[in-house]
Structure 1
Amino acid sequence: MLSKKTKYGIKALIYLANSPENEPVSILDISTSEDISRKFLESILLLLRKTGFLSAKKGKGGGYYLRKNPQEIPMAAIIRILEGPIALLPCVSLNFYEKCADCSNEKECKIHNLMIEVRDSALKVLENRTLADIAYK
């Protein structure tokens, strides 16, 4: 399940993708249009800026804008930044792996093997879709 932070972050990125290229958009414009708390949106946009998805311009006419073309931003990267692991269990995560405390043998664990399939299916979709794919439809 996606958190509100992730859903709102994706909504904000879609809004920015549909804005004129490299023209800063104010937090107020995004929060009003997408019905997102301004304070909550500020923290999300700051994270997206720190991780290289966005740039910001200060002062009058300032705001946030996409740093890359939406076609170059994979959905998997957005989800990982905002949500964390894509895998449903830490023992199958590619980037956030942790051994399950209650599992003695991952190779024989039926849940582990099923969750690898689930992870791989989700990754196939998320890595092959970009922000442009969802923003422009």
Structure 2
Amino acid sequence: MISQKAKYALRALAALARSNDKSPMLIAEIADQQKIPKKFLEQILLDLKHRGLVMSKRGKDGGYLLLRPAEEITFGEVLRMIDGPIAPLPCLSQTAYRKCDDCLNETECEIRHVFARVADATREVLFSATIADTLNEKNRFTVMLAG
């Protein structure tokens, strides 16, 4: 399962992608539109800013903007940033590999073989689905079916 923080991050990024690229969105606007607690959203956007996905603009016309095009931000990238490794088993993680404590032999582990297929399929979907895919109804439905 993904965390609530990751869900909110994805929703906030989609809201920013839907807004006019030239017009920053205020935290209050995003929070209200997406039903995200404002204080929690502030933390999430700050985290996304430090990781290079969004930028903030100060002043009268200030707010948040995507730093990269929505077509270049994948669900997998965001989930990995917020929740950490995507693999169902530590021995399948691409970013935080760790041998399972109770494993006798990885190459012969029946459980690992099945979950390796799950991990590969999950990564394929998550790293091909972008924030831009959520913006129109047809792609939104395709992303939902794939997920």
Name the TM-score, length of structure 1 as normaliser: 0.95
Q: Any stretches of 5+ residues in structure 1 without a counterpart?
A: none
Contact 1:18 1:136 survives alignment (8 Å): no
Output the amino acid matched with 2:95.
N
Amino acid aligned to 1:123: R
- For residues 52-91 of structure 1, the aligned pairs below 5 Å read 52-91=52-91
1:33-48 equivalent positions in 2, closer than 5 A = 33-48=33-48
Offset at residue 94 of structure 1 (A): 0.7
Alpha-carbon shift at residue 68 of structure 1 (Å): 1.0
RMSD of aligned Cα (Å): 1.0
How far does residue 47 in structure 1 lie from its aligned partner after superposition? 0.8
Distance in 2 separating the partners of 1:22 and 1:54: 13
Deviation of the 1:134 alpha carbon: 1.5
Runs of at least 5 residues in structure 2 that lack an aligned partner in the other structure: 138-147
1:58 shift after superposition = 1.3
**What whole-Å deviation, never above 9, does each CA across 1:46-81 have from its counterpart, x for those lacking one?**
111111100110122211100111111122111111
Aligned equivalents of 2:102 and 2:129: distance in 1?
35
Runs of 4+ off more than 6 Å: none
Instruction: Give the TM-score normalised by structure 2.
Output: 0.89
| Aligned twin of 2:15 | 15
| CA distance, structure 2, for counterparts of residue 7 and residue 73 of structure 1 | 14
**8 Å contact from structure 1 (residues 22, 66) kept in 2:** no
> Which residue in 2 is equivalent to 1:25?
25
Equivalent residue letter for 1:120: D
Q: Alignment identity in percent?
A: 42
